[in-house]
Amino acid sequence: MSPEYFMKRAIDLALLGRGRTAPNPMVGCVIEYKGKIIGEGWHKKSGSAHAEVNAFNSVIDESVLSEANVYVTLEPCSHFGKTPPCSDLIVSKNVNKVFIGSTDCNPIVAGSGFDKISSSGIQVVTGILEQECQNINVRYNTFHLESRPFVVLKWAQSADFYIDPRKSKNSEGQVSVSSPESKVLTHKFRNEEDAILVGTTAANIDNPSLTNRKWAGKSPLRIVIDKTLKLSSGLELFDDTHPTLVLTTKSKAKTKNTTYLKLDFNNLVIELLDYLSSINIQSLIVEGGAKTLQSFIDNELWDEARIYTSEKKFKGGTLSPNIKSTSRQEYSLGDNKLSVLSS
């Protein structure tokens, strides 16, 4: 079988770590001997064993490793962090050949993993399904290459492109346009990202909790814009049950799980992304409202947009953000259509 066959399996394994490995990348590893997989593993959680360690630990007969090949989606680490260098482990096993999907863009690795393995005499082959391997870690790569989190915009809209009917004379109060399938998927996405942001108006009107309640896994860091601290303390966001960051121009003492971050608000988008980068937040979902979403679009600081469109029409209200993209994928979710746009 081809190297691509085994690398594809490594990619599938890497994706099992989605939402659990940050600030580390997702990585998958396969060990092959005479065309058969004899070991495999993936990085399951930040601080735990890396993919290569798990793969070698799963090998029953290590006597064949000198004739075995290793396939790993990302360049093995070469530095001591919470775990020892995986490149050292590979060298110690004296394997036949190592196939690597993509280079690690983190400056503390960036080629040194290749060098350590190849200098030991083990043949290294790079660029196997390179683009597919890079796509696994777009959040990690954006963080290290652009010094900011990967930004996902998300909103639900009516068939006539309104996100909220309440500014319309025809409004009958809050109207949901998300199908049950869309709501579950939204919570799955929350589990996969580091942080989630909502603006002042959306927080006040919708009173969201911004937690993951419909999918197994974690909830992201909740962030709310409250420039003058006018939002009611009775909102779900201020229940102090989950880590929450309040963006404001005022000073206020931290509580158990709620931190007040004083900013200038000269360009809130840039100020926020700079701060999140400084605390190792690699991804951010922006869930509204329209003004907040549009501010990221206008600053050209977004990477992906997920737009749920209902069959319902509002015939007035708050218009959806104005966004342009040449890349679009579409999926059906009950009576909703999900459009995924790339910047």
In tens, the pLDDT along 286-333 reads 998 999 999 999 999 999 999 999 999 898 889 999 999 988 899 999
User: Which CATH number covers residue 202?
Assistant: 3.40.430.10
Give the SS3 label for residue 132.
helix
Q: Are residues 330 and 248 in the same domain?
A: yes
How many domains does one find in the chain? 2
What does the CA dihedral 37, 91, 4, 48 come to, rounded to 10 degrees? 70
121 by Cβ neighbours in 10 Å (0-12 / 13-18 / 19+) ranks as exposed
Note if the pTM is more than 0.75. yes
pLDDT of residue 167: 56
Residue 20 confidence (pLDDT) above 80: yes
The band of 168, judged by pLDDT with boundaries at 50, 70 and 90, is very low
- SS3 for 177-188 is CCCHHHHHHHHH
User: How far, in Å, CA of 81 to CA of 109, rounded?
Assistant: 12
Question: Residue 300, Cα to own-chain centre: how many angstroms?
Answer: 19
Reported as a single tens digit per residue, the pLDDT across 219-241 is 999 999 999 999 999 999 999 99
Which H or E run contains 295? helix 290-298
The band of 170, judged by pLDDT with boundaries at 50, 70 and 90, is very low
Distances (CA, A) of 338 to 208, 295, 334: 21, 22, 10
Q: Are residues 198 and 278 in the same domain?
A: yes
Q: Label the pairing between strands 283-286 and 150-157.
A: parallel
Which H or E run contains 139? helix 138-146
pLDDT of residue 124: 95
pLDDT of residue 164: 85
Q: Which of 141, 157, 187 is the endpoint of a domain?
A: 141
Rounded to an integer, the average pLDDT of 34-43 is 97
Q: Label the pairing between strands 327-333 and 221-225.
A: unpaired
Q: Are residues 172 and 282 in the same domain?
A: yes
Rounded to an integer, the average pLDDT of 131-138 is 97
| The two structure tokens encoding residue 173 | 């109060």
Distances (CA, A) of 179 to 26, 87, 176: 31, 47, 8
Reported as a single tens digit per residue, the pLDDT across 69-122 is 999 999 998 876 677 889 999 999 999 999 999 999 888 787 788 889 999 999
Please tell me which residue in 32, 40, 52, 192 is annotated as part of the active site. Answer: 52
Q: Which of 35, 38, 120, 37 shows the shortest CA–CA distance to 76?
A: 120
Q: Are residues 327 and 211 in the same domain?
A: yes
Q: Are residues 247 and 305 in the same domain?
A: yes
Asked if residues 259 and 124 have their Cβ atoms less than 8 Å apart, the reply is no
Q: Are residues 111 and 164 in the same domain?
A: no
Phi, psi of 6 (to 5 degrees): -75, -30
188 by Cβ neighbours in 10 Å (0-12 / 13-18 / 19+) ranks as middle
Which letter does DSSP use for residue 250 in this model?
S
- SS3 for 58-84 is CCCCHHHHHHCEEEEEECCCCCCCCCC
Q: Are residues 133 and 171 in the same domain?
A: no
pLDDT of residue 58: 98
Q: Are residues 109 and 196 in the same domain?
A: no
Q: Are residues 107 and 178 in the same domain?
A: no
pLDDT of residue 171: 41
The band of 1, judged by pLDDT with boundaries at 50, 70 and 90, is confident
Q: Are residues 162 and 104 in the same domain?
A: no
Residue 6 confidence (pLDDT) above 70: yes
User: How far, in Å, CA of 129 to CA of 139, rounded?
Assistant: 18
Q: Are residues 118 and 165 in the same domain?
A: no
pLDDT of residue 284: 98
User: Which CATH number covers residue 66?
Assistant: 3.40.140.10
Give the SS3 label for residue 331.
strand
Residues facing 225 on adjacent strands: 247
The region of weakest confidence among 26-35, 80-89, 254-263 is: 80-89
Asked if residues 84 and 113 have their Cβ atoms less than 8 Å apart, the reply is no
Residue 52 bears catalytic tag: yes
User: Mean pLDDT score of the chain, rounded to an integer?
Assistant: 93
Domain range for 62 is 3-141
Q: Which of 89, 113, 141 is the endpoint of a domain?
A: 141
Q: Are residues 24 and 80 in the same domain?
A: yes
Q: Which of 116, 141, 166 is the endpoint of a domain?
A: 141
